[in-house]
Each structure stands twice: as C-alpha cells, then as structure tokens.
Structure 1
C-alpha cells in the first residue's frame, strides 16, 4: 500500500478494515497535517488488500497492520521499519530503505511517468509544487536524464 498510495507510515498504521476498503476505496485523515485523503485504489491494489485481509483473518474494525503486541493494536513506526528492513533483506535489497522510502518511491515514479507535478503535489498534500520537486530530489540533472530516457 505504501508504494501505491503515497501515505505516510503513521497514516498506513491507522488503516482499519472497513466497507470502503473492501470496496476499493481508501479514506484517511493524515496524522501530520490533519487533512483528509480519499481515493479509489487501482484494481490490483484492491485485490492485494483483500487477499491480505483474508490471509491474516482480519475483520471489520481491525487494524490492517497490527503490532505483535496484542490483538488489534496498530503497528508502530519502529516495528514497521524493522519489518520493512527484514523484508528488504529477504529479497536482496542492499541500499538504505525506511518507511518513508515508500512514499518517496511513489512520488518519484509518478512524476517520472507522468511529468504531472501539480497532481502529485495534491496527492502528497504539499503546499507548493516547489516543495514537491524538492521532496522528490528533482533537479536539472534529473530533468536531463528523464529527457534522455524518453528519447
């Protein structure tokens, strides 16, 4: 979900199984900004989430990502980081990765594929497109590389 939604780990941790999620819609209030985010998920992500819910025997009202400490407690940022690092190690990722990497990965890839900085700005709830460009580390060198990639 992290690489397909641009949500922060704090927001992912608060997701609960509900009718909207099961119908392929994601609604959340961002912990950092208090702003609401809502969108329809693509078919593959919705399918993956349904399979995850079924595989983990989750029910309506339960946290999607639970901590290892007791039933129906949200995963902590620290625990999510440890799990993500373990998964990355299992599949051979050898570069630094953290929970926020998922959001940045989404943002950078979205911009490289679409070039639509204004929509990305809105998705990330940034105050300006300049903030968004800085966030994805976009500079003149990246612009040149992008141009060469699409030639």
Structure 2
C-alpha cells in the first residue's frame, strides 16, 4: 500500500504547475531576447531616410520587399511574391530576427498581422491611435512602439 504525505502531494502539484508554466516562460524569453542589449551592426535610420537604396532588406533572395518600417527598437520587413506573405522583425539592439507567415493584411497595405502561437505581431499605419508596431500575447500588450519611418517598395 502506497501512502502519500501532504509534502509529497504538494511537491507533485508544484512539478505539474512548473511544467504548465514552462512553455509560457520560453515564449516570454523569446520576446525578451529581442530587447536584450548587445552590439550589432544594424542600419542607422539617418541612412534609411536619406538613401532609399540603403533600406534594410531581410527578405529571402527570391522574395519581393513590400514594406520597410522602422521603430526605435526594430526594423520590420513585409516580404512576399506577387502578394505579401511574410513578416520579418529584426531587433536594432541585438540583431535577433523573427520570420513568420502573415495571418492577415489589408490590400491597402496599412495593416499586417503575423502570429506565433499566442503572440501576435501587428504593423499598423493610419489608425486613430497612430502608426505603430505592437506585440501582444493573448489579450495582453507586451509592447507598442510608434513608427519612425515607413517605405513601400
């Protein structure tokens, strides 16, 4: 006969709770890694505005570049073929990059949404709240940064 003590049961409950929280920890760590400081050669925005040929292009060689957007902390490219189909976000701080298929976009090119599990990346221009990049997890906004520049190819 096996006898469980309160201590054994509490330990098992803690292990189950820890295992349930672990995936959220890894998603959060992925988001935070985009914000961690380290040296990286990311294009400066002065070049971006003055010389259109210097727009950072993180699309694959076979893809077209539709949009280049800039915030204080990120470069965003919208890539595709005949139509946009991929979101690429790159941290200016450390060069970390995320590449995701677009879930939705509008034909006018003012709204793009990419989703990774329960994390959504939204690039929005011309809304009543302004022009911005926002990242949400579920109903919680992780961060929002206003757009400094926007270029359509």
Shorter-chain TM-score: which interval? under 0.3
TM-score (norm 1): 0.26
Higher relative contact order, chain-length normalized (CA < 8 Å, sep 6+): 1
* Larger Rg over CA atoms: 2
Structure with greater proportional helix content:
1
TM-score (norm 2): 0.26
Structure with greater proportional strand content:
2
